[in-house]
Chain A
Amino acid sequence: MISGKIWKFGDDINTDLMLPGPLLFATEEEQKRAVFSANRPGWADQVQTGDIIVGGLNYGMGSSRPAARSLRNLGIAALLAESINGLFFRNAVNFGLLALECPGIHTAFEEGQTADVSLEDFTVRNRDTGALLTAQRVPSMLLDLMTQGGLYPHLERQGLIEPKAAGN
């Protein structure tokens, strides 16, 4: 069970809001501090490890940039949205961010409420209201990558890429 406090965002949240263009060349540390700096300044300092983002339709539309990694680096435990852009979903798999499409999620939660997410049966419960929702099932091949650090460790284990030196 994954439980966390909800931060709520709307429809069509794009990658450039999560990872602004000028930060593409910055370090991961600098990138995570800039998440939502254009639409919600100061948010990256308020969010806590284990918090959950609830989004509307078409979450993560836009670029191939590693915006999902910045959310993971901020300690986001899960992204739950009405629907998720396919490329953002790939990057959630790639960088180990749990991302689930969950119809009805946006109306079922207010900001600050707590969600309990079960990956046993792909349910999401609003602890404050008791509302129970069912998320789209993610096949185990992809869920394993999402919950076990993403694709790079997998490629490292196969000897295809060199493990990254610590602190790099």
Chain B
Amino acid sequence: MLAMTIVEKIFARNSGEEYVKPGDIVVVDVDLAVMLDMSFLATERRNILKVHDADKIAVVFDHMVPAADRRSAEAHSYGRDFVRRFGIRRFHDVGPAQGISHAVVADRAYALPGTVLVCSDSHTCASGAFNCAARGVGAPDLLAAVTTGKTWFRVGETVRYELSGRLRPSASAKDLFLHLAGTWGHHTNQNVEFGGPALPELSIDARRTLAAMGAELSAEFATFEPDDRLIDYVRERNPAPFEPQYPDADARYAERRKVNLDEIRPLVTLPDAVIRNSVPVAEVAGVPIQQAFIGSCANGTLDDLAEAARVVRGRKIASGVRLLVTPATQEVFNAALRWGYVATLMEAGAVVTPATCGACFGGHMGVLGPAETCITASTRNFKGRMGDPSAKIYMASPATVAASAIAGRIAAAAEVTGDAA
């Protein structure tokens, strides 16, 4: 009778209710509200007169770092004053702690299992990898969370993805996402929950890719079941206590879908839409490209950079192609330096940029010009997303993007490396 899914349990706990169910509206305590540089833009910001709890706020500059123009520079100055004024301790300015907010939250394990996290960016659901009820909200919602400590959620039905098997070396979490998006399309007003026997073999980085892309399914929340690997990851990084939430065995789901990871093959999303738009790489192989991008909260992880480096090692990118690689945080950048991935990428001809949302949203460091074609390992490929509306944006895994940069046209990684597909 009182069986609940993961997010329903987190909502119940944070709203003081015994039981919540689809159709309910809940008002919940927010454990962490993440503000961005965009929160402080002169055209958008409001003067905050009080905050509920400075320790439940993190400020992460990420969309335009280092400041790309005078407007972002002014927003950064205002944000620094805000941080000082309210004594916010978790502040990620331009510098060694810089990064894309969802990735910073992951590196530091600010997103604790069983908690509620909001941020005014749609890919906030990335923290669902941490068994966290995390979602993107609007700028006014975020101010409400910062000033009152609360927010509201509509409780949607949940679709459970039961993952089994193991990804082949040629397939990645991004390909798995493209398979889900291509097969089932949008999940408007629904939550997605990931679990199953494949989980222990799925790296934390892979889970983050899948959870971040939950926004593209239009899912309300994209949440992973906790396991030992996750709990160890969090404990190594954050001493704060937490209580992971597991779904009840008899929780009610709108649907349970089984996915065998062994069957996932590299896919590409065609331009202008993410969902129901995936095709095998072979179907678009040969399309000439001018830009290849690897980055964002979804594909700027250390796993992603390792994959890109593996594909380009000892090779050169094609003439007339720009390969841009943006690690998701400076911490990831540093790790990639230590592992030699950055040297490998640069020797191949890649430009490795500082951590920022940057090219993913057409902000800076890789904006597309008229009629250009780009293949991207980032979050979305909407018309005009990365620059000029006449540019065509294909989306794929970091390996497929790296291989395409080498070939000068869309190509499967196996074709470039000679490995078995």
Contacts and interface: CB of A to CB of B under 8 A. Distances in A.
A95 B138 contact: yes
Identify the 7 closest CB pairs spanning chains A and B, nearest first: A162-B47, A160-B147, A94-B140, A151-B140, A38-B389, A21-B362, A91-B138
B275 A160 contact: no
17 contacts: A21-B384, A39-B383, A57-B186, A62-B215, A63-B121, A63-B361, A64-B136, A66-B139, A87-B122, A87-B135, A141-B152, A155-B147, A159-B50, A160-B143, A161-B47, A162-B47, A164-B46
A62 B213 CA distance: 11
A38 B384 contact: yes
Contact of B218 (A24, A26, A86, A158): A86
B188 interface: yes
Contacts of B135: 86-87
Given A21-B362, A160-B48, A94 B141 contact: yes
A150 interface: yes
Contacts, number: 139
A63 B63 CA distance: 13
A61 B125 CA distance: 14
B384 A66 contact: no
Interface stretch (A9-17, A70-78, A107-115, A116-124): A9-17
Contact of A64 (B43, B49, B120): B120
Interface of B: 25, 38, 41, 43-44, 46-50, 69, 71-72, 120-122, 135-141, 143-144, 147-148, 152, 154, 156, 186, 188-189, 215-216, 218, 220, 273, 275, 361-363, 380, 382-387, 389
Contact of A16 (B25, B120, B215, B385): B385
Contacts of B383: 16-17, 38-39
Given A66-B138, A152-B46, A159-B49, A86 B189 contact: yes
Given A16-B385, A57-B186, A64 B144 contact: no
A150 B144 CA distance: 12
A20 interface: yes
Contacts of B137: 64, 87, 90
A155 B389 contact: no
Interface string A77-90: 00000011111011
A8 B258 CA distance: 37
Given A21-B386, A90-B141, 11 more contacts: A21-B385, A24-B41, A24-B361, A38-B389, A39-B383, A66-B138, A90-B137, A94-B141, A155-B140, A158-B147, A160-B147
Interface in A115-156: 139, 141-142, 150-152, 155
Nearest to B68: A25
A83 B188 contact: yes
A66 B144 CA distance: 16
Interface residues of A, number: 46
A39 B272 CA distance: 11
Interface in A9-48: 12, 14, 16-17, 20-22, 24-28, 37-39
A64 B48 CA distance: 20
B389 A20 contact: yes
Nearest to A152: B140
Contacts of B387: 21-22
Contacts of B140: 91, 94-95, 150-152, 155
Nearest to A89: B154
Given A20-B389, A26-B43, A141-B25, A58 B188 contact: yes
A36 to B, nearest CB: 11
Contact of B361 (A21, A90, A139): A21
Contacts of A25: 41, 43, 69, 71-72
B120 to A, nearest CB: 5
Given A63-B122, A142-B25, A151 B141 contact: yes
Contacts of A12: 186, 273, 275
Given A28-B43, A86-B188, A87-B138, A162 B382 contact: no
Contacts of A20: 384, 389
